[in-house]
Chains A and B, each alone.
Chain A
Amino acid sequence: MKRRVFLQSTLASGAASMTGLGLLVPHLALAEDAKPADPAKTEPTKVEEPAKAEAKPAEAAKTETAAASTESSPFTATSYEDALKGLNIATPEESDKVLIKAPEIAENGAVVPVTISTTLEGATQMGLLIKNNPTPLAAIFTMGEGTEPNATTRIKMAKTSDVVAFVKVGDKTYSAKQEVKVTLGGCGG
């Protein structure tokens, strides 16, 4: 019995990282092609980067300013409260019209699929925070006209945490949360 559980979880986490997308949306079949491209794509960039920085000091400087400018953004805030402060959200009102679709248990914290949506009229912006992550703010989505207030992405989770979605309608902010239990952390620590 134990062995079976182990096998299942290994399989599941392996599958989630490589072909998760393929499993979830088989007709899309993006994942198969993405897999072989991965190592090829990431390796050259890693080798290139230091060389580039040495050769072009100007570019290195540009990178530094870019890093400095993100310093103050809510994305680098290291606590949930600071992230909310950076977003200018005082106290979001909990609403059952803000919906989060996420697994209750994530076997692999490196890839947790999350969908946020709302049935509230006039939503212009949505956001996603992971309370216990080192940098809790994961994403902000700003919708154009005609774009429906729903978005799916995949996030990393360091450990079990509440996932919080917020939706801005006019100058009010509504939120909802769901706990996701993580059995294997996703921040490479």
Chain B
Amino acid sequence: MAIRVKAKETSGIVEVKALMNHPMETGQRKDKATGELVPAHYINKVEVMAGDKKLLEANWGPSVSANPYLSFNYKGKAGDKIKVTWTDNKGGTDSGETEVTT
């Protein structure tokens, strides 16, 4: 699974943590071997759903670190089904799912 997602409920608040695998190339880094610029390749959108409900949408630029980490809280309960999906500037996409635990 390319996105590792964890979600844990504590007194009505769920903390969602996601770790994605992505190079997050800025487009400004030079390939050391060829001296050519490495083309920009980064996640520009992350969507987090709980069932049909959108919890959070993140729009990112290349300033986000490689293998991005994201965490946030929402009012929810154990058993909620969390799905994290990203798309990148080259049209790539991936997702990861988990169930909220206590």
Contacts and interface: CB of A to CB of B under 8 A. Distances in A.
Contacts of A21: 19, 69
Given A63-B91, A66-B89, A146 B61 contact: no
Contact of B73 (A42, A62, A110, A150): A150
A154 B68 contact: yes
B91 A34 contact: no
Given A34-B19, A154-B69, A137 B63 contact: yes
A155 B34 CA distance: 27
B81 interface: no
Interface in A37-63: 37-38, 41-42, 45-46, 49, 59, 62-63
Contact of B56 (A46, A144, A189): A144
Nearest to B88: A66
A75 B72 contact: no
Interface residues of A, number: 55
Nearest to A154: B65
B74 to A, nearest CB: 4
Given A144-B53, A152-B71, A41 B21 contact: yes
B4 A141 contact: no
Given A41-B2, A41-B21, A147-B55, A110 B65 contact: yes
Contact of A140 (B23, B29, B58): B58
Interface of B: 2, 4, 6, 13, 17, 19, 21, 23-24, 26, 28-30, 40, 44, 53-76, 89-91
6 contacts: A140-B60, A141-B56, A143-B55, A151-B71, A152-B70, A153-B65
